[in-house]
Structure 1
Amino acid sequence: MPTFMNDPTMPTPGFPGSHMVVDDHYVFISGLTVDDLSNGHAARGDVKEETRLVMRALAHA
């Protein structure tokens, strides 16, 4: 059975959904951007760095 999760430290999704959906084998993420994680400060880099920042935040969720 999937588990729907929202991190209370991140902005509420602007869509009807969750930050993460976790089941026995997969984790689906949706709607997270570097802007959401940077508290209003631009933290942009190349796609590799932005992906690293998103994944680091998810590891703490």
Structure 2
Amino acid sequence: MDAITELKKKAIKDFQKFLNRLELGYVDDYSTILNTISFIQTCRYFDKPDKIYEFLINN
């Protein structure tokens, strides 16, 4: 499976978790989700995106 596809699936899963908690009244920080989406959109412009990818996939 493509690394970016894995990251997309993780972003969707994290967003679903965020929405579920929001329905329960929790207000969580969603900056990691936004950073992941931004990276997915711009990763082709990076020379070496591996370290950023590893950070995002593991958090």
The answer to whether TM tops 0.5 is: no
Report the structure, 1 or 2, having the larger strand content: 1
Structure 2 length-normalised TM: 0.28
Structure 1 length-normalised TM: 0.28
